[in-house]
Amino acid sequence: MENTHQVAQAPGSYTAISHLTTDSPSEEEHATMQNIYSRATAPMAHRNPAENTGLVGGFALVPPGLVRPAEWHPDDTHERSVERMYAGVGRKR
């Protein structure tokens, strides 16, 4: 099922997505993240990798796909601190 954002985009256009994931390094860290976001004014939904992939339905992912943000520029020397997130770019079919 397409969402409003997808329907409004013209074929051939691109969209970027980034999302927190539930596959945290530890259960304690995951519980901490859930606790923090449960008190936010705009709570965050944490999704597993399959659910994150479902968010780009209707779009063809461009390489390297839906991966950890650091994998978009693996040659950069930036610290790989955002390992609890996936990011990707998709092209509308």
- The 8-class DSSP code of residue 70 comes to G
Beta bridge partners of 39: none
Rounded to whole angstroms, the Cα distance separating 55 from 18 reads 10
Tokens coding 74: 């693996």
The pLDDT tens digits of the residues spanning 8-62 come to 889 999 999 888 887 766 778 778 877 888 888 877 777 887 888 888 888 999 9
In a 10 Å sphere around its CB, with 0-12 CB exposed, 13-18 middle and 19+ buried, how is residue 90 labelled?
buried
Tell me the whole-structure pTM to 2 decimals.
Answer: 0.72
Largest CA distance in the chain: 42
Tell me if residue 19 falls in helix, strand or coil: strand
